[in-house]
Amino acid sequence: MSNAVEISNVSMRFNMAKEKVDSIKEYLIKFFKRQLLFEEFMALSDINITVQKGEVFGLIGLNGCGKSTLLKIISGIYKPSTGTVKVNGTIAPLIELGAGFDMDLTARENIYLNGSVLGYSKQYIEEKFDEIVDFTELHQFIDVPMKNFSSGMVARVGFAIATITKPDILIVDEILAVGDFLFQEKCEKRINELMSGGTTVIIVSHSIDQIKRLCDRVAWIEKGKIKMIGAAEEVCDLYTSAK
């Protein structure tokens, strides 16, 4: 099994209700008036991508083209309307850092909480705790409630927890845009470390330079369809010239 992710014939259809129907009364009224016709919106149609093990795969495209939806399908947050996604190995999603932080709790408590959200065991978090704190460089704030943190500090903690494991597949969505430049460098270094350890990386970014620098292959998505898949250099050049 050399494929880390196999995406075959995946389509994602959203019901774009013009107004959200949130109550039974509204639902009944609309039902009887026959207004329950949703506008269907194909966020993705018929996507076929195979990502090999150890590969760094980039997704590029304009805002709203379906990149993030695809990442969410791969990480199991969305179920595709049709088609299948086969994933071999563990996934660490860096889709949004610090999902599941409770801002009333301290950084220490949140490391445990967020770690468990990602499915780590207590023992594992205890083992890695110092390493996580070292990476964030926030030693003196570790027992401060996180509502007093700046957004950059929150991102540091989130990134440190998410990348502490050696996942088989790392999913990165635009997160390198947070934090100061020193921390961005540190994040990139960390991702490089993981990559050299054989981790498959799927990355979404609007920074074409970054994609070129990091990726082996790139898929260009336009309006929910794959426009092109190929070597990073080639696809990126065509993408930038198409603008």
Binding-site ranges for other proteins (CB under 8 A): 14-15, 22-25, 27, 75-79, 91, 93, 95-96, 99-100, 102, 104-105, 109, 112-113, 116-122
Helix 181-196, helix 151-162: angle, nearest 10: 10
SS (H, E, C) 56-120: EEEEECCCCCCHHHHHHHHCCCCCCCEEEEEECCCEEEECCCCCCCCCCCEHHHHHHHHHHHCCC
Least separation in angstroms between residue 190's CB and other proteins is 19
Q: Which is nearer to other proteins, 51 or 218 (CB)?
A: 51
User: Which residue, 7 or 95, is less far from other proteins as judged by CB?
Assistant: 95
Tokens of 186: 């540190």
To the nearest whole angstrom, how small is the minimum distance from the Cβ of residue 51 to other proteins? 18
What's the number of CA atoms in the CB half-sphere (13 Å) around residue 212?
A: 11
- Residue 189 CA, chain-centre distance (Å), reads 18
- 38 versus 237: smaller Cβ distance to other proteins: 38
Please report how close the Cβ of residue 204 comes to other proteins at its closest, in angstroms. 14
Least distance to other proteins from the beta carbon of 117, Å? 6
Q: Compare residues 112 and 222 and give the one whose CB is closer to other proteins.
A: 112
Whole-number Å distance between alpha carbons of 78 and 61: 20
Residue whose pair of structure tokens reads 């190929």 in the numeric block = 230
Q: Rounded to the nearest whole angstrom, what is the least distance from the CB of residue 115 to other proteins in the complex?
A: 8
Residue closer to other proteins (CB basis): 101 or 141: 101
